[in-house]
Amino acid sequence: MDISEIRGIGPKKREALRKIGICDTADLLSHFPIAYQDRSRITKIAEAVPGREYLMEVTILQIREWKRQARGTKMTEMTVTDGTESMKLIFFVSSYFLKNAWPGRICQVYGRLERNGSTFQMNHPDLSFDIHPGAQGILPVYQTVKGISQNQMRELVRVALDELGEDCEFIPEPLLAERKVAGRRFALENIHFPAGRKAWAAARYRLIYEELLLFRTGIALLRGSRDRDQERARGIAFPHDDYVREFADSLGYELTPAQKRVIGEIENDMEADRQMERLLQGDVGSGKTAVAAAVLYKAVRNGCQGALMAPTELLAEQHYRKFRELFEPMHIRVGCLMGSQKKSEKDQIRRQLAEGEIDLVTGTHALIQEDVVFSNLGLVVTDEQHRFGVNQRVSLSAKGTYPDILVMTATPIPRSLAVVLFGEQDISVIDELPAGRRPVETRMIHQSSREKLYRRIAKQAKEGHQVYVVAPLVEDSEAIDARSAESVYEELSAMYAGDNLTVGLVHGAMKPAEKEAAMRNFVSGEIQILVATVVIEVGIDVPAATIIVIENAERFGLAQLHQLRGRVGRGSEQSYCFLITDAEEGPGRERLEILVETNNGFVAAEKDLQMRGPGDFFGTRQHGLPEFHVADLLKNADLLSAASEDLSRLLQEDPSLSLPEHQALKQAALERYGSVSLTSLGI
């Protein structure tokens, strides 16, 4: 039922409810209480403990009104008693209810009992002259909006519960019985208006299990279940050969055990007779590019073309130079396709791809244009896959006949969530750094020591080291007390004017060509100090950059700070990350302390998840997933495992959930997750 169909809901109340996401009775039922008021028993004043909330039945002794001199507003003071003690009720509003109040009248009050000297007192309690026979029960407290009172919200939820059909259950009966899960109607009634603590606990258990089962079912449906497996069966089956070992021997250095392990996992997928769709996670500087090069080599040596798509031209060009260095001595033809190239150059690359004259191509989104045709595309690699839109990633893989797909990211997804989303078989993780890489030393610096730090940096820059300085804002803002890239650039340019140091600037408001030019000048060494915003989070590999300074570091997220820190420490020199802050406490300070403690991105991601919660980590803002109302992927890990096991059994019996007894579960999952794209999650 639309909210406007409920009696008493006019246009103003309807708009107010829509501000908090309530448009119909289904929304009301999922608008769970944020707290409860226990009015299940009437307490005597003499038995009560100050500082707690109580329901009391009292008789009015005296009523007094006066105006507050400072504001001129009316106040009302009632003196009441229940026969054991007396207390005062203070109301900070006009006394519109006084027409129903008079000495000797009995009423029920609910509120927090305080002690003011020797007197008991309640400030602005709920007051009711409709005396219930006994107590009122346990009442919900909701998030409300201006124009909707708590009592109105309660009545609206009661209407929604009355409208709830008897056939609202969608979890198959065998699962309810096996897991001892309450029915849906019972759960919704008792999460809103609990009959008691046990009923509330049973309702909450059911709703957590429901959310987790729907989550797992939604992901399974997104993965395509049986239909997806049939489609993947059409993939290229590469032969079992020694090409990867041949490539590794040509490198001149030993791959890490972690690199060898994930290459083996990728090879197994490539040699299977189904399309590979694998996620490769590797912390910054862990050697993902070498892994990608090894498996691309395997594809090319077997007569297929390989493609690597990067989010920026600088990164695409960086991969191109690296691949030319690696592959041209082996007579593998490497090309690069980017939007900024001349038309004649792009036309030539496109022709060579179509005719099979290029074996391996790197590029940006230019690779997915309609006029780009591959002769025989066998392997697609996307770097920093979260930077691409859904259609961009799908379009590149559609350039071939079910080519194998490898997506790489340096943004660690906590293992506890990654397994849920991807499954054990679809994730490869490089969890160690190559030999010779030193951990970046991270330190917190107070704002007052900034100038001293920048003087020290000048000394390092004169010795051949390069420096990043990151600011949270592009330009100064009166509304936000934080440093801007433009003001830092001006300050450092003036400070280093006599030191023969070149300071550069790059931020998101600049034209693409200007950004690319600034970054190239930094890569080439023409710029020693690059002032930037988070645009440098990915896409630059400068071994000579050994220092990164992050202004107002408490304003950045933990994962983002870790990515920024990854811009240094890419060579054999000791590197440093300086976090400038004046935060003494709070979440921002906690994030910085975690970054100082660990260089491991996966540890940082897990801690980030614990701080923010999974609703935010995989929330609407970041990944398009509906947020959980009651479930918590960390706290309810056992129930998540149970829901996963239950779904696995259902899918073994009914892979597409098409049996009548499974249709309701499938429909509920599609209603909740049907608008989410699998590729928006990187799956």
pLDDT of 148-190, one tens digit each? 888 889 999 999 999 887 789 999 999 999 999 999 999 999 9
Average pLDDT, the chain: 84
Identify the weakest region by mean pLDDT among 213-222, 516-525, 670-679: 670-679
Is 441-598 in CATH node 1.20.58.220?
no
Its CATH class, for the domain covering 41-135, is mainly beta
pLDDT at residue 414, rounded to an integer = 62
Would you kindly state where each structural domain of the chain is located, as residue ranges? Answer: 41-135, 234-430, 441-598
pLDDT at residue 97, rounded to an integer = 66
How far apart CA 671 and CA 665 sit, in angstroms, is: 10
Q: Please, what sign has the CA dihedral across residues 555, 556, 562, 563?
A: negative
- Kindly tell me if the per-residue pLDDT of 668 is higher than 70: yes
User: What tokens appear for 113 in the block?
Assistant: 């009992």
pLDDT at residue 332, rounded to an integer = 96
Judge whether 41-135 and 441-598 match in fold: no
- Kindly tell me if the per-residue pLDDT of 396 is higher than 70: no
In contact, 338 and 316? CB cutoff 8 Å: yes
- Kindly tell me if the per-residue pLDDT of 462 is higher than 50: yes
pLDDT at residue 390, rounded to an integer = 41
Q: What is the mean pLDDT of residues 386-393?
A: 44
Identify the weakest region by mean pLDDT among 512-526, 530-544, 611-625: 611-625
Q: What is the mean pLDDT of residues 293-322?
A: 91
Band the pLDDT of 135: cuts 50, 70, 90: low
What amino acid occupies position 105? Answer: R
- Kindly tell me if the per-residue pLDDT of 412 is higher than 80: no
CA atoms within 13 A on the CB side of 660: 0
In contact, 314 and 384? CB cutoff 8 Å: no
Q: Please, which residues have CB within 8 angstroms of residue 540's CB and are 6 or more apart in sequence?
A: 314, 315, 519, 522, 523, 567
What is the rounded radius of gyration, in angstroms, for the C-alpha atoms of the chain?
32
How far apart CA 110 and CA 126 sit, in angstroms, is: 5
Spell out a b/e string for 590-621, using b for 16 or more CB atoms within 10 Å of the CB, else e.
ebbebbeeebbbbbbbbbbbeebbbbebbbee
- Kindly tell me if the per-residue pLDDT of 445 is higher than 90: yes
Band the pLDDT of 284: cuts 50, 70, 90: confident
DSSP per residue, 286-299? S-HHHHHHHHHHHH
- Kindly tell me if the per-residue pLDDT of 88 is higher than 70: yes
- Residue 265 or 479, more confident: 265
- Kindly tell me if the per-residue pLDDT of 316 is higher than 80: yes
In contact, 66 and 98? CB cutoff 8 Å: no
CA atoms within 13 A on the CB side of 357: 7
- Kindly tell me if the per-residue pLDDT of 494 is higher than 60: yes
Write out pLDDT tens, residues 109-122.
999 999 988 899 99
Q: What is the mean pLDDT of residues 510-538?
A: 86
Identify the weakest region by mean pLDDT among 78-92, 380-394, 577-591, 650-664: 380-394
User: What tokens appear for 529 in the block?
Assistant: 């100090």
- Kindly tell me if the per-residue pLDDT of 601 is higher than 70: yes
How far apart CA 187 and CA 207 sit, in angstroms, is: 7
- Residue 231 or 420, more confident: 420
Q: What is the mean pLDDT of residues 419-439?
A: 71
How far apart CA 405 and CA 315 sit, in angstroms, is: 19
234-430: CATH superfamily:
P-loop containing nucleotide triphosphate hydrolases (3.40.50.300)
In contact, 128 and 107? CB cutoff 8 Å: yes
Pairing mode, strands 427-430 and 106-116: unpaired
CA nearest to 610, candidates 598, 599, 602 = 602
- Kindly tell me if the per-residue pLDDT of 339 is higher than 50: yes
Q: What is the mean pLDDT of residues 346-362?
A: 95
CA nearest to 396, candidates 376, 371, 375, 369 = 369
User: What tokens appear for 198 in the block?
Assistant: 């046990």
Sheet holding 503-506: strands in order across?
Answer: 441-446, 576-581, 545-550, 466-470, 529-532, 503-506
Q: What is the mean pLDDT of residues 192-205?
A: 94
Q: Please, which residues have CB within 8 angstroms of residue 123's CB and are 6 or more apart in sequence?
A: 90, 92, 111, 112, 114
- Kindly tell me if the per-residue pLDDT of 652 is higher than 70: yes
Band the pLDDT of 85: cuts 50, 70, 90: very high
Number of Cβ within a 10 Å radius of residue 343: 7
Q: What is the mean pLDDT of residues 4-16?
A: 87
pLDDT at residue 126, rounded to an integer = 87
How far apart CA 101 and CA 86 sit, in angstroms, is: 17
How far apart CA 538 and CA 275 sit, in angstroms, is: 28
- Kindly tell me if the per-residue pLDDT of 614 is higher than 60: no
- Kindly tell me if the per-residue pLDDT of 63 is higher than 80: yes
Band the pLDDT of 619: cuts 50, 70, 90: very low
DSSP 8-state symbol, 9: -
Helix (H) or strand (E) run with residue 278 in it: strand 277-282
- Kindly tell me if the per-residue pLDDT of 312 is higher than 90: no
pLDDT at residue 389, rounded to an integer = 42
Q: What is the mean pLDDT of residues 297-307?
A: 96
DSSP per residue, 461-527? HHTT-EEEEE-SBSS--SSS-S-BHHHHHHHHHHHTGGGT--EEEE-TTS-HHHHHHHHHHHHHTS-
In contact, 575 and 440? CB cutoff 8 Å: yes
Residue 508: left (phi > 0), alpha (psi -120 to 50), or beta? alpha
Please identify which residue in the block is written with the tokens 């943004």.
Answer: 411
- Kindly tell me if the per-residue pLDDT of 540 is higher than 50: yes
The pTM of the full predicted model, rounded to 2 decimals, is: 0.60
Write out pLDDT tens, residues 545-593.
999 999 999 988 887 888 889 888 877 789 999 999 988 888 888 889 9
- Kindly tell me if the per-residue pLDDT of 616 is higher than 60: no
DSSP per residue, 353-419? HHTT--SEEEESGGGGSTT---SSEEEEEEESGGGS-HHHHHHHHTTSSS-EEEEEESSPPPHHHHH
Q: What is the separation of C-alpha 66 from the centre of its chain, rounded to a whole number of angstroms?
A: 52
Q: What is the mean pLDDT of residues 341-366?
A: 93
How far apart CA 617 and CA 625 sit, in angstroms, is: 10
- Kindly tell me if the per-residue pLDDT of 252 is higher than 90: no
